[in-house]
Amino acid sequence: MSLFEKTATELLALQAEGKASAVEVADAFLAAYSAREPKLKSFMLSPDPDAVRRRAAEIDAKRKSGRPLGKLAGVPVAVKDVLCTKGVRTTCSSKILEHFVPPYDAHVVERLAAEDAVIFGKTNMDEFAMGSSTENSAYHLTRNPWDTERIPGGSSGGSAACVAGCQAPVSLGTDTGGSIRQPAALCGIVGMKPTYGRVSRYGLVAFASSLDQIGPFAHDTRDCALMMEAIAGHDDRDSTSVNRPAPEYTKTVDQPVKGLKIGVPREFFGQGLDAEIEGAVRQALKEYEKLGATLVDVSLPHSPYALAAYYIVAPAEASSNLARYDGMHYGHRTTEKGDLIATYSKSRAEGFGKEVQRRIILGTYVLSSGYKDAYYVKALKVRRLVKKDFDDAFEKCDVVMGPTTPSAAFKAGEKSDDPLALYLSDVYTVSCNLAGLPGMSIPCGFTKSGLPIGLQLLGAPFSEEQLFRIARMYESVTDWHTKRPKV
């Protein structure tokens, strides 16, 4: 296996044993990036070769000097272009932020630097993280490494494609309604959306503030745990960041959970689920039974309503968050002369893409006088019912499992004219965000045509440590996570 196909954990071991330097690792990924980027187009901003090598050389020098090294020493990490990077453009794949250069780093970017990671470019995404295919990027399409005719999922499609396509060993994405788990499933890698509040959102460009969380993509659960160990923890610059210690996830990841009870919600196996996806997920559940787990029938009776509630709550919060883009302090300002209101309206119309405009208008409508109770408040009531379903389910089981997506990766352009059809691909992932739970997707097979399938694991709040252990149990008896596409 080539250096660029290895996991972060393997790369750390090679460096510790003196078998590879951080500069050699960086060069391997820079070469893989250059060779594959014309096909995949995972990146919004390419990694700067000089900056990457300089940073890697610093880590090598630090190692040589005998100073203590961070948990991610010399590991390249690609970062979704919705996370602020000081002095490096952060566009959210939007024209409105085309030239925006943040004056500070996001908390997670600071954490990566503190753990001696090598920041490796900014990845492409659906504009402002609104989408499920990365086709809403204002710049270019990203391709699925398993079949470049197909989309990688979204909105963190670039972060998923670059790890699946071995252009970076690990990356960061964000998940508001499935934007980490869905692309992880469609690209055949591991992705985690942490409990709301587990990871600081400081420096994350806001989409829907009560739903957004930052989380990692990796080839396997061990790497995912390693990344979470680096980014989780309290930060007083995000008032929703939870002040409780973050466990050392890598210490326990290899310990199987004894007497594991898996909740299987009947609502996740109904109409609309592709037969091949269902087959692979059922097979994965059988593997868990062989490992001694018990399957428990659970019901999430309000899950059929979760998606509709989500598409009220998320656009409502987005319409409020995106009001800040008015062309006054930063971002695009129209060159047309006009009064203040005209300048706002023109700048926003020129700077935002179609899907972002659609969600701003939908969000403004459901919050507007006369409609707020019928839509927004109604959705918040449903949100409570969705959360209660999970509280009840976790009385009976340790984890809820099901498919991450109803079907495998679709072809680029297939759903781009039908927003509602695209929204439906989030049907299994949104309830986790509404309830604030941690969730993962891990690879559990392929369709006959060779497209990856994801198994979704949902846990009680702050059960990340246990989710990692449960996911690792499956990896110990399967090899899906070791597969790499031929790009």
Partner 1 sequence: MSLSIDQVRKVARLARLELSGPDLARMQQQLSAILDYIELLNKLNTDGVEPLAHPLPVQNVFRPDEEAPSLPPDAALQNAPNRVGDYFGVPAVFSDEPVSH
Of 96, 44, 363, the C-alpha closest to 209 is 363
**Cis, bond preceding 155 (omega within 30 deg of 0):** yes
Torsion of CA 110, 113, 119, 122, to 10 degrees: 0
Residue type, 400: V
Whole-angstrom distance, CA of residue 357 vs CA of residue 363: 10
Whole-angstrom distance, CA of residue 359 vs CA of residue 312: 9
423 lines the binding site for partner 1 (CB under 8 A)? yes
329 lines the binding site for partner 1 (CB under 8 A)? yes
Residues 118-177 that bind partner 1 (CB under 8 A): none
Of 99, 244, 286, 324, the residue at the interface with partner 1 (CB under 8 A) is 99
Whole-angstrom distance, CA of residue 81 vs CA of residue 470: 31
The residue among 168 and 422 lying less far from partner 1, judged by its C-beta, is 422
Of 31, 45, 58, 104, the residue at the interface with partner 1 (CB under 8 A) is 104
Of 381, 395, 476, 477, the residue at the interface with partner 1 (CB under 8 A) is 381
**The one segment of 12-20, 175-183, 301-309, 479-487 that binds partner 1 by CB under 8 A:** 301-309
Whole-angstrom distance, CA of residue 213 vs CA of residue 206: 10
Phi-psi region of 201 (alpha: psi -120 to 50; beta: other; left: phi over 0): alpha
The residue among 230 and 313 lying less far from partner 1, judged by its C-beta, is 313
Whole-angstrom distance, CA of residue 227 vs CA of residue 221: 10
Q: DSSP letter at 245?
A: P
Question: Least distance from C-beta 95 to partner 1, angstroms?
Answer: 14
**Rounded to 5 degrees, what are φ and ψ at 481?**
-70, -10
Interacting residues of 112 by C-beta distance below 8 A, sequence separation 6+: 72, 77, 79, 119, 172, 230, 231
312 lines the binding site for partner 1 (CB under 8 A)? yes
275 lines the binding site for partner 1 (CB under 8 A)? no
The residue among 253 and 309 lying less far from partner 1, judged by its C-beta, is 309
309 lines the binding site for partner 1 (CB under 8 A)? yes
Of 197, 215, 265, 459, the residue at the interface with partner 1 (CB under 8 A) is 197
Question: Least distance from C-beta 480 to partner 1, angstroms?
Answer: 31
Question: Least distance from C-beta 461 to partner 1, angstroms?
Answer: 7
Of 13, 361, 392, 476, the residue at the interface with partner 1 (CB under 8 A) is 361
Q: Residue 337, Cβ neighbours under 10 Å: how many?
A: 8
Angle at 112 between CA 107 and CA 113, to 5 degrees: 95
364 lines the binding site for partner 1 (CB under 8 A)? yes
Question: Least distance from C-beta 247 to partner 1, angstroms?
Answer: 18
Q: Find residue 77's DSSP bridge partners.
A: 119, 170
339 lines the binding site for partner 1 (CB under 8 A)? yes
- Residues designated as active site: 80, 155, 179
323 lines the binding site for partner 1 (CB under 8 A)? yes
Question: Least distance from C-beta 462 to partner 1, angstroms?
Answer: 10
Side-chain half-sphere exposure of 280, counting CA atoms within 13 A: 28
**The one segment of 50-58, 277-285, 300-308, 472-480 that binds partner 1 by CB under 8 A:** 300-308
Is the distance from CB of 215 to CB of 192 less than 8 angstroms? yes
Of 38, 68, 103, 272, the residue at the interface with partner 1 (CB under 8 A) is 103
Whole-angstrom distance, CA of residue 106 vs CA of residue 86: 8
Is the distance from CB of 275 to CB of 403 less than 8 angstroms? no
Whole-angstrom distance, CA of residue 228 vs CA of residue 186: 21
**The one segment of 3-11, 214-222, 273-281, 298-306 that binds partner 1 by CB under 8 A:** 298-306
Binding to partner 1 by CB under 8 A, coded x per residue (else -) over 219-258, reads -----------------x--xx-x----------------
Chain residues in the site for partner 1 (CB under 8 A): 99-101, 103-104, 196-197, 210, 236, 239-240, 242, 302, 304-305, 308-309, 311-312, 319, 323, 326-333, 338-346, 348-349, 352, 357-358, 360-362, 364-365, 368, 375, 377-385, 387, 419-420, 423, 433-437, 461
